[in-house]
Each structure stands twice: as structure tokens, then as C-alpha cells.
Amino acid sequence: MSAAIIAPSRLRPIRLRLGLAALAVSAFSAFGNPAQARGPEGIADVAEKVIDAVVNISTSQTVEAKGGGSNSMPQLPPGSPFEEFFDDFFKNRKGPGGGSKGGDNGPPRKTNSLGSGFIIDTAGVVVTNNHVIADADEINVILNDGTKIKAELVGVDKKTDLAVLKFKPTKPLVAVKFGDSDKLRLGDWVVAIGNPFSLGGTVTAGIVSAKNRDISSGPYDSYIQTDAAINRGNSGGPLFNLDGDVIGVNTLIISPSGGSIGIGFAVPSKTVAGVVDQLRQFGELRRGWLGVRIQSVTDEIAESLNVKPPRGALVAGVDDKGPAKPAGIEPGDVVVKFDGKDVKDPKDLSRVVADTAVGKEVDVVIIRKGQEETKKVTLGRLQDPDKVQAAVKTDEPAPEKPVTQKALGLDLAALNKDLRTRYKIKDSVKGVVVTNVDANSDAAEKRLSAGDVIVEVAQEAVSSGADIQKRVDQLKKDGKKSVLLLVSNADGELRFVALSVQ
């Protein structure tokens, strides 16, 4: 499989126009020593040491052919002047048996893809990306000397895009070990080896451009960013430090052209090592589970909850069957430390919980009403159930117009049967329903909408518009700049929203 690309994947042809002047500039950099411009001398030693542990991953997949293969009619824009010509040529052309070929689908065909991987155990254990081997009917490992061996899948983790393969060695192998990605510094030299564009054993070098990079590609993003050239086919290949240890798995690039522009991402070895251990042991991932829904602590929310400085993960909801419930964690708590590790934002908490062993008892430090408290939680196991629910349409008589009250740019009404039916609000949801939002209000900017239910105001339950107005008036008297609302959607999922009261 080719490297995953966050950008249009079409490649442009490479044109080399290097004159003597360009070569001279390259050789005699303004920075002085030309050897320094190329990088440290140790790169060759690293490549020589680990090259035999890097493998190509070849996959094949059977797909249904469409349009009859070579006899298929080209896809043309409607009204194209060539449409009539190709219609006559393909659709009306008869085969040897007299039948029309143009509309037939050909037989299923095999497609082949190439990616990269690396050996971590001389027994024949290989690490690669999940997207390299996804949906493959057959997987082969190609060693550096060209030996091709069929491999079987041990396990995959889609959330980190990692996979473990196993094959039977026909001769002694070279294996590499994981280094400590936490010790990487910005500017450290790294070496990527892989199979870009089917050019196996390609070595490129660069530096660590950033750490803990979140590019919103998954729930546990914490990539190493590098300017080492990473292209299609490098996916699943190793990123080495100058000791020859694997400190990342090359997974993604950002490119407008499909080729390297010096922005590549690798899953850090700290994450990879934990995932690989579980896949080898269980064939699946067993992640820790806290049983809370969390959101960011904005400046307004921090001011409302007396969290200084703004930090942590705000608990917006607690699963009734989750580990956090019996431990005493509640909506409105802000988690600032988990198992001794600081939590700066929700992503920090998601990652550290997922990486913690199922069944482990941990200390969770929260801020509640401005005071720190420590809760002991025994982690459960994260499950991935399907949450697809079919929407049921019902024909209900037109409800009576509810009595509403305005506050905070919202039209508010007490929940009743008609309003629950209109907005499909579950019976378990209690509070005051929003029936309209002023388009020019702070509430509109914070994406409140009709059908949302305000459950609490300033961490006190409300049941009417009058309750909300009373709380807001009191906050104004107290000199508060914002009010914290606990808001539920129709399904009962909670979130906190801070609105200005000025």
C-alpha cells in the first residue's frame, strides 16, 4: 500500500534542471563546511547496521473489474463530441460469439500494492502500518536481498494504524529494537528507510521538526514530525535515531503533490511498543477506560470553575456503568493529573488512559469548585460497540405553543411531552429546553441550538426559564463575566458551555 497522504494524491513529473551554479551553491553552503550541510557522519553507519532489518511489504487483493477491462468505454463528460464515436466503437462492437462486449464486466482481477515494514524479532515478527495490509488477500514480506516469503497477520490496531505480521524465516534474520521516543529533542537527526515508489532500501535523513503533533487523524494523535523525505511506499517503515534504534513508524505525509515536501509524521516508538506487545500477546488492543466524556477547558469555563491557570480535561458526562462513577468523579470536575502524569488538555487524558493497563488502580487528581481532590479509580476496558441507531419518524399532532422566557439570547421553555416529541428528547433528560437562539447572541456563537436542554446553571439544576434568569441575575450581582451551563442534547450527551452575562 502507498503512504497515507493528507492532500490531493496526484503526482507531478519531476524535472531536474541543475546547472553548475546550482551545484556550486549546494557544495559550498553559506554555512561553511559542506559535510555539515549533508548531516552527521553517523548516517552511513546507521544505514549499514539496520538495512537488512527493513523489509518491503507486498500485498494482493482481488477486486471486481468494472466496465470489461480493456474493452470498457472511457468515462466521458455528458455531451462530449467523442461520446457518439466511442459509443459506436465499444457498445456496438461484436465479439467472436456475436455478443456485445462493451457493457460486460470482466472477471475479478488482482491488484498489488507495496509498503514498508521492519523486523523486531528474528523469529520473523514484522511491524508495519494497518493501511498497508488492510483488505489484503495475500501478504508477502520481501527481504533486503530480494527473498519473498508469505506472511500472516498477527493483529491490527486501526486507531494507531499499526499492524504486526509473522513469517517463517528461511535463513538468519537481523532485527532492530525500539528506542525511547520521549528522549527525542527538536533538531535531532533521524533516518528513514523504506520502499518509496517501489524503490526498496531507500535511505533518507532529516531532523525532528516537532513532537506530540496532533493532526486530528485519530483519537490518540501524538506524532513525531520530520523533514526526512517520506513518500508513497514509505508507510510502515522505520524512523531511526543515530543509535540505530526505531523511534517511530512512518505513517503520514502532508503534500499538495503526492511527493515529499518535508512534512512527514511517524507514530512514536513509545506508542508502537505498547501496541505491538498487546497485538503479539492478545491479537488485539486492550485499552484502559475511565468512563467519562470530556471537553476542553476554555478561558471562560476556567473562570467559571475557578481553575487557574486554565488546563486539564473537563468531565462533561459520566458513564453510569463506568469506573469513574463509583470513584466519585462527577460532571463539572476537571481532571488535571492522571496516574502521576499532568493532563494539559483532553487529548492528554485520552492518550494516558488508553495506555494504562486494564484493571490498574490509579490516582486521578481533579479540581472541583476550585479545590483539588484525589480519586482512586480502577480502570475498565475500552469497548468499541456500534452506536448506530435508526431514527424513527412518527406522525404526531401539532403541539401547543409552549410558554417561553428569554435569557442569554435564548428562548427557554419547561420540558413537557409535546416538546420531547418535537425534539425527540429522551425521557431521562431533565432541564429547560431551548426553543430558539438569537442569531447575534453569544449562545449562537457557542453553537447552542433549538432542542438543546439546559440541565444546570452555575452547577445548580434548573427546571424553568425563571430558574435560569434568577441564576444569571445573581451572577451579574456577584460581578461574574460569564455563566457556565451544563447542556444536554436529545440523546442525553452532556457538554459545558460558558456564555457571557455582560
- Phi/psi at 50 (nearest 5 deg)? -115, -10
- Give the integer Cα–Cα distance in Å for 142 and 124: 12
Q: Residue 247 CB: number of other CB atoms within 10 A?
A: 27
Q: Which three cell numbers, joined as nine digits, stand for 441?
A: 447572541
Say which of 2, 58, 116, 131 is annotated catalytic: 131
Q: Active-site residue 442, yes or no?
A: no
C-alpha distances in Å from residue 210, one per residue of 5, 59, 107, 250: 18, 32, 48, 14
**Chain centroid, CA 413 distance in Å:** 39
Task: Annotate 170-201 with three-state secondary structure.
Answer: CCCCCCCCECCHHHCCCCCEEEEEECHHHCCC
- Give the integer Cα–Cα distance in Å for 81 and 302: 64
Residue 100 DSSP one-character state? B
Q: Residue 204 CB: number of other CB atoms within 10 A?
A: 22
Q: What does the buried/exposed string (b/e) look like for 58-68 if buried means 16 or more CB atoms within 10 Å of the residue's CB?
A: bbebeeeeebb
Contact 277, 290 (CB under 8 A): no
SS3 label, residue 380: strand
Question: Taking CA 446 as the corner, what is the angle to CA 443 and CA 452, rounded to the nearest 5 degrees?
Answer: 70
- Burial classification of residue 323, based on how many CB atoms lie within 10 Å of its CB (0-12 exposed, 13-18 middle, 19 or more buried): buried
- Give the integer Cα–Cα distance in Å for 328 and 243: 47
**Chain centroid, CA 113 distance in Å:** 23
C-alpha distances in Å from residue 455, one per residue of 271, 407, 458, 497: 38, 15, 10, 11
- Phi/psi at 71 (nearest 5 deg)? -95, 5
Pairing state between β 264-268 and 138-142: unpaired
Say which of 58, 116, 161, 442 is annotated catalytic: 161
Q: Active-site residue 441, yes or no?
A: no
Residue 171: which residues within 8 A CB-CB, separation 6 or more?
147
Q: Residue 32 CB: number of other CB atoms within 10 A?
A: 9
Q: Which three cell numbers, joined as nine digits, stand for 13?
A: 513529473
Q: Which three cell numbers, joined as nine digits, stand for 192?
A: 528513514
Say which of 58, 116, 181, 235 is annotated catalytic: 235
C-alpha distances in Å from residue 386, one per residue of 281, 350, 389: 25, 20, 9
Q: Active-site residue 131, yes or no?
A: yes
Q: Let me know how long the chain is.
A: 502
Active site members: 131, 161, 235
